Amino acid sequence: MRGLFLSLLSAVYALSSCTNSDVIHVSGHIDNPGNVKVVAFYEGDRKLDSVFLADGNRFTFEREATQPRLLSLAIGNNKYPVILSPGEKLTFVADMHQPENYTVEGSGLSTALKDFAPYKRRKEYVQDSLQGAFAKATLNKSAEEIESLRFDYLAEFKSKLALYTRQAVGFAKAQPNLAGFYAISTLDPDVAEAEILAYAEEIDAKFPDNRYVSQFKEEAKKLKRLAVGQPAPNIASFTPNNKSVNLSDFRGKYVLVDFWASWCAPCRQENPNIVKQYQAFKDKNFTVLGVSLDNNPGSWMRAIEDDKLEWMQVSDLQAWSSSLITDYRIKAIPTSYLLDPDGLIIAKNLRGKELERFLEKTLN
């Protein structure tokens, strides 16, 4: 009888509690933590939890889970990607005197992420180096000289990030799992739009209920709506003379849709280049539609006159509250989209020499 009771008790306990296979687990220690007192855990941008460093600077984190989770361990200013699978016990050790030299044991996928880390560190080093070199090179330079340098540095930036894109895509093909997903999630949409969209389509039915992956898929859907090859969302607004204008009115022409404002210094610096390209290609089936984020009609119209902007201009004078920017997800200006005669997006955010060369190649 007692044996039967214990058997029933064990069955009830099993039904009402998590087994080892329903728990993700990581433990370890942080050497030379300095002022760091906690290890925080993130899934995407969402903070899941944090644990204090105990005696010997050790920590332990457990959480119920029924599938692998891609998390980041945040230790001070350093973040480490790990994949915690139910039933696995991951051991993590890092030294804050040499934060890049960390160790992981007990998880093959986390080890794979560690193998990818040098590529990501190299990308970040290249980004920081180019930004620093650009800032130094543009000291005491004119707006025209700065724009010329910006083009040169942007070209180098895209070239070097293209290498990182190939590395990330190659890694994802070799790792058709959350480790591969992580590599793709670190790509820059301005450089690797096509690769991100292709991967999002590939994993459409994979990794269900994973918050980090779900965020990525949602962003990819938004990215696709404005991707090269997609039809541009329509724009309907009014000119300074209160004439109604629709973007669809421009079908049959190549159109540069230029989001700008009179108060935007980079926009005003780019305007002479757009004027130059407009004059060079307006007789070759090319035009411009300016969409202003102004809220002062006087400032808007003065800028149009001062900068000699001869093409069609529209605005609802609502600045950042404008419904014109919602469909285009405008977060900063200048932003531009180049459309073909069918209204399809063929390029984005071309400025300076980059715009000139693209138009020469496309229209000549």
What percentage of the chain exceeds 70 in pLDDT?
Answer: 93
Render pLDDT for 201-220 as a digit per residue (tens, 0 to 9). 999 999 887 888 988 999 99
Residues 190 and 258 in one domain: no
Give the C-alpha separation, 181 to 203, whole Å: 9
What does the alpha-carbon distance between residue 178 and residue 302 come to, in Å, rounded to a whole number?
Answer: 53
Least confident window among 72-86, 108-122, 133-147, 186-200: 133-147
**Residue 280 and residue 195 in one domain:** no
Cα separation, 312 vs 248, whole angstroms: 13
Q: Is 126 helix (H, G, I), strand (E, B) or coil?
A: helix
Distance (Å, whole) CA 339 – CA 231: 8
What tens digit of pLDDT does each residue of 149-172 get?
A: 776 777 788 888 899 999 999 999
Domain that holds residue 186: 115-225
For residue 112 the two structure tokens come to: 């794979």
Q: What burial class does residue 106 get, using C-beta atoms within 10 Å of its C-beta: 0-12 exposed, 13-18 middle, 19+ buried? A: middle
Predicted pLDDT at 325: 85
C-beta separation of 39 from 7 below 8 A = no
Of the pLDDT bands very low, low, confident and very high (cuts 50, 70, 90), residue 20 is low
CATH assignment at residue 101: 2.60.40.1120
Mean pLDDT of all residues in the chain?
A: 89
Judgement on whether residues 294 and 331 belong to the same structural domain of the protein: yes
Quote the pTM value: 0.79
Residue 277's domain is classified under what CATH number?
A: 3.40.30.10
Q: Based on the domain organization, do 201 and 265 belong to the same domain?
A: no
Number of structural domains in the chain? 3
Backbone angles phi, psi at 33, to 5 degrees: -75, -15
Q: In the structure, what pLDDT confidence band is assigned to residue 6 with cuts at 50, 70 and 90? A: very low
Q: Are residues 93 and 209 in the same domain?
A: no
**pLDDT beyond 90 at 179:** yes
- Residues written for the chain: 364
Sign of CA dihedral 181, 182, 185, 186: negative
- Average the pLDDT over 131-137 and give the result: 86
Domain termination site, one of 196, 225, 254: 225
**Distance from chain centroid for Cα 207:** 20
